[in-house]
Every structure is written in C-alpha cells, then in structure tokens.
Amino acid sequence: MRIEKVVANSSPLIVLFRSNQAELLPQMFKTIIVPQQVYKEIVVDGPLDEAKKMLPNAPWCSRVEVEISLKVAAWNLGEGEASVFSFACQKPEYRALVDDLAARRCARVLGIKTLGTGGLLILAKKRGLINSVKDRLERLQESGLYLSEPVISLLLSNAGE
C-alpha cells in the first residue's frame, strides 16, 4: 500500500528543516498533518532554528487539534508523540512519522504503522526523488538526528547502497 498520508512528530520535522530536506514531504505525501501539540513544540517552545522559522510558512502543513486518547495517554509519552499516535489511532490510513525508539515500540503495541526519517529517505529514493540515501543520512546526522551504526547499515542496505 502506497503511503500518501502522514501525521508528523516534531523530531522528523526539525531534522528535515535543519538539513534542508523538508521539501521531500510535499513531494512524497498528499496530506501532512501536524498536530497542534507538535506545532507548539517546534514553533512556540523550540529553539530559534530553521524549523521554527519555516514551519509556520509551509503551505503543506495541515495543523489540527488532537485530543489525546486514553489508551495512548497510558504510555506517558510526550505531548507531541501522544497527539501523533492518538490521531493515527483515529485515522489508520495515516502513517505516524516518528523517530524515537521507545515511541515506536509503543506504536507497535497499539497497532500504529510508523515511518522514521531514515525510512522516509529510502522511500524517497524508491520513488525517484533522491539519488543517494547515504548523503541524505549524513545531512540528517549533521542536523542532530542520532543514528547508530547498525541502523545506518540497515538503512543503506535497504536502499541498495
């Protein structure tokens, strides 16, 4: 099934903006939901960086109010992740764009499909939008995304690099 709709957490948005790769989002997905809680983490509470400056002007950003569901609240996640997962529980046609490993474990238990920023790059390559995942991963790392060597190796292997 082709991924057309995502609901984004703050970490992927921040590193994509910081690494000048946020343009991939509207090229890859028809709908990009940013819960109000995530928007607040980036634009109101976050440091003055590219994400804070550019997200408010991103025409593809669809902000929505999300009520945290009780089954998600029980996991004691941050507000952003809880809002992303609550939205994805209500609308399973959306893929949750999250990087945090603990949050992804929670998503698995809740039956929520996720996509990490590294996986997004693999998908972009498969769709012909980028030539090299390796170069793009390096840009993400330089922008603050931590990826272990085993994860990098797995991503590059899945990308055929």
pLDDT of residue 86: 97
Return averaged pLDDT per consecutive 10 residues of the chain, 161 residues in all: 93 97 97 97 89 96 95 91 96 96 90 96 97 96 93 95 95
Q: Could you tell me the sign of the dihedral formed by the alpha carbons of 144, 147, 152, 155, in that order?
A: negative
**Domains plus CATH for the chain?**
5-158 (3.40.50.1010)
Nearest to 7 by CA among 118, 74, 91, 78: 91
